[in-house]
Amino acid sequence: MIEFAVDSIETPALTKAQLADLLFDQIGLNKRESKDMIDAFFDLIAQRLVDGKDVKLSGFGNFQIRTKAPRPGRNPRTGEAIPIQARRVVTFHASSKLKEQIQSAASVAG
């Protein structure tokens, strides 16, 4: 298994550009191949979700499409009742393996 060191990341969020740089630095793909691979990976995931299909990444978690029913809502500023339309949302559920890694990292840091 290849382990990626992400200690050099300066921003709190991991970006697609940083992932492509990691492929370039640690796998040896050229920059264009790295960017294309990351883009293709996320395009594939996005298309599966748009098609209404779940995405399961072993050892990481599941992305699922959920349909939320319409419901009454309220504008918090004015108190006015407004209808909230039915919509599809993406949910993410971390795998137990990922949860364990997060918990062990939290216990070491805390």
Name 104's bridge partners.
none
SS3 of 12, please? coil
* Residue 7 falls inside a structural domain: no
What local confidence, expressed as pLDDT, does residue 107 receive?
80
Give φ, ψ of 81 to 5 degrees.
-75, 130
* Residue 95 falls inside a structural domain: yes
* Residue 8 falls inside a structural domain: no
CATH number at residue 93: 4.10.520.10
75 pLDDT higher than 70: yes
* Residue 4 falls inside a structural domain: no
8 pLDDT higher than 60: no
90 burial via Cβ count (<10 Å: 0-12, 13-18, 19+): middle
How many domains would you assign to the chain?
Answer: 1
What local confidence, expressed as pLDDT, does residue 1 receive?
47
The 8-class DSSP code of residue 7 comes to T
* Residue 6 falls inside a structural domain: no
CA 79, CA 84: separation in Å to the nearest integer?
14
Q: How confident is the model at residue 89 (pLDDT cuts 50, 70, 90)?
A: very high
Give this prediction's pTM.
0.73
